[in-house]
Amino acid sequence: MSAKKFNPKLIMIDVDGTLVDSVPDLAYCVDETMKAMGRDTWGEAQVRHWVGNGVPKLVERTLTGELEGTPVKEDFDKAYPIFLELYAKNTSVRSCLYDGVIEGLDYMQAQGYTLGCVTNKAEQFTLPLLKDLGIFDYFGIVVSGDTLAKKKPDPLPLLHSAEFFGIDPTDSLMLGDSVSDVKASRAAGFEIICMSYGYNHGDDIRDTNPDLVIDSMAELTSHL
């Protein structure tokens, strides 16, 4: 990994696995959904491999036990509303910011970077989570998974954000943790820094060749 310095005008930041460890709440909702369906629970360690592509995909994985499985439609139609109701009440009960997040956000804000948030999580869960954890006010835009017609790994959320601020994608950077963040950034023309600790379905994020991998957002003081 290069030790290059980044000097973007815009920094767009992912939520789950980058800012917030949301797996404890998601795993609770997964297991409660499975109980309601009369099935065995999965546990937090397994759910950790499944998150990062939005709630519908998580529910599909919950029902099939596979990353790309297709559940029986009747099962999905029953499980999905159960999960949504559970998660609406458990969006930020067990979730927490990763160490270094506040230090990183404060540093970027103090340096005058334009900050935005981009996630595949639906807006109804994203906004309460950011507000409950006290970081909503750092962001000039929040693009959720259902804000636009497409979500990551499509570049649309990043291109939309750059256009919203009137900043060129080549002057923009993404902070993420997964292969979908890397793909979206590359397609949009953004630079990409990934967190080593996030959710990438059990694979090493370094294998996707982001511009830099760091272990804490506090390290951004050395790279921006």
Concerning whether 171 is annotated as a catalytic residue, the answer is no
Give the strands of the sheet with 142-143, arranged side by side.
142-143, 114-118, 10-13, 172-176, 191-195, 212-214
Catalytic option among 14, 25, 181, 211: 14
Q: How far does CA 48 lie from the centroid of its chain?
A: 13
Q: What is the pLDDT of residue 2?
A: 47
* pLDDT (0 to 100) of residue 147: 97
The answer to whether 193 and 211 are in contact (CB under 8 A) is yes
Contact (Cβ atoms closer than 8 angstroms) between residue 218 and residue 103: yes
DSSP string, 96-158: EEPTTHHHHHHHHHHTT-EEEEE-SS-HHHHHHHHHHTT-GGG-S-EE-TTTSS--TTSSHHH
pLDDT at 1: 45
What is the pLDDT, as a whole number, of residue 3?
Answer: 63
Q: What is the pLDDT of residue 135?
A: 98
pLDDT string in tens for the chain (224-residue length): 446 799 999 999 999 999 999 999 999 999 999 999 999 999 999 999 999 888 999 999 999 999 999 999 999 999 999 999 999 999 999 999 999 999 999 999 999 999 999 999 999 999 999 999 999 999 999 999 999 999 999 999 999 999 999 999 999 999 999 999 999 999 999 999 999 999 998 899 999 999 999 999 999 999 99
Please report, for residues 10, 26, 118, the alpha-carbon distance to residue 59 in angstroms, rounded to integers and kept in the order given: 33, 10, 21
Instruction: Write the DSSP assignment of 49-64 as a string of letters.
Output: TT-SS-HHHHHHHHHH
Residue with token string 């294998």: 207
